Chains A and B, each alone.
Chain A
Amino acid sequence: MSESADGPAPSPDQSIRSLNEQLADASLRSSSRILILILLAMNKKSTATELRTLTGLGKGSMENHLEKLESAGYVRTKNVKSFGGWRQTVEITQAGLDKCRELLRNIRALNV
Chain B
Amino acid sequence: MLLVVTYSRPARRSLRNICRGHEESIVRRFGRAALLRATEHGAFLACRLREKYPDDVQVERTRPFNEFADASEDVRAAASAYESREAKHTPYAKFAAGADHPDPAELRDQDL
Answer whether A and B are interacting partners: no
**Which chain A residues have a beta carbon within 8 Å of chain B's beta carbons?**
none
**Which chain B residues have a beta carbon within 8 Å of chain A's beta carbons?**
none
